[in-house]
Amino acid sequence: MIRDPTHAAHDGRPPRRGLPNLGLGVGLRNQHFPHLMRHDPEVDWFEIISENFIDNFGYARRVLERVAALRPVVMHGVSLSIGSTDPRRVQDFLERPLVLENPSSYLEFKDSTVEEWEFLSELARETGCGLLLDVNNVYVSAYNHGFDAERYVRGLPHEAVVQIHLAGPTDCGRYLVDTHDQPVPAPVWELYRLAQELTGGVSTLLEWDANIPDFPELVAELRKAETALGGENPGAPVRKSRAAAAATVSNPVGFQLAAGDE
């Protein structure tokens, strides 16, 4: 969802599901507040976790006001439980398309009758919702369930994809965990290049939610997307976990409460 849909597209292409290509963005994180209050944001756009701002009237709100005056802000709800309702009800209420993301998963149900990409394709076609294609999640799930990640990406309706997520997972031995705590590895960049080729170019977000680096380092990691699109793979192999697998958290959220005052 875009705060201000009139923001110009990054590439001048027609909008998809009414949403423009915003270019390269990162999540707005408390740890970077001091930096962002003093420097130009550098990146093309920011993502915020909606729930962190709905009832926060402290410094975070002040930073958001500054950032939103300078760059487009995309709101991402992660615990509002709207992903499990009929998207049409939310879309009718908000009068804008909902954009739904593919998750990282660690199990499949025996009852399952369709593949995940088939389900998402059907969902997008039937409801008109947009898709947020997290290529890191595709890679993690493909590894954990033994499906073909490239086939998954190729199988989606590309006209419905409005945003791509990048992140670095952790190799816990026999499975991968979606830890968002390190650089994007080579196989994920490979899927990214493929997805951008198929979509023709959509908004890209780098997710980094634990062991968050300083802002300049984060921006440098994001800029590797340009290298990847140029045909050169900027990534390293997936990082192997040094911690016990039991201490590895998928999809960390603790960053949301980290102090970010001046």
* Number of residues lying near other proteins (CB under 8 A): 43
Per rule CB under 5 A, is residue 165 in the interface with Fe ion? Answer: yes
Of 44, 47, 116, 134, the one binding Fe ion by CB under 5 A: 134
Taking Cα atoms as reference points, which of 120, 126, 162, 163 lies closest to residue 141? 120
Per rule CB under 8 A, is residue 110 in the interface with other proteins? Answer: yes
CA dihedral (47, 80, 254, 73) in degrees, to 10, reads: 10
Site string for other proteins, 240-259 (x = CB under 8 A): ------xxxxxxxxx-xxxx
> Residue 90 in contact with residue 82, Cβ under 8 Å?
yes
3-class DSSP state of 5 = coil
Per CB under 8 A, contacts with other proteins among 39-58 are 51-52, 54-58
**Minimum CB distance to other proteins, residue 60 (Å):** 8
DSSP 130-168: EEEEEHHHHHHHHHHHT--HHHHHHHS-GGGEEEEEE--
Q: Work out what residue 254 binds among other proteins, Fe ion, none; the CB cut-off runs from 5 to 8 Å by kind.
A: other proteins
Per rule CB under 5 A, is residue 76 in the interface with Fe ion? Answer: no
* Footprint of other proteins (CB under 8 A): 51-52, 54-60, 62, 77, 79-81, 106-113, 144-146, 174-175, 177, 246-254, 256-259, 261-262
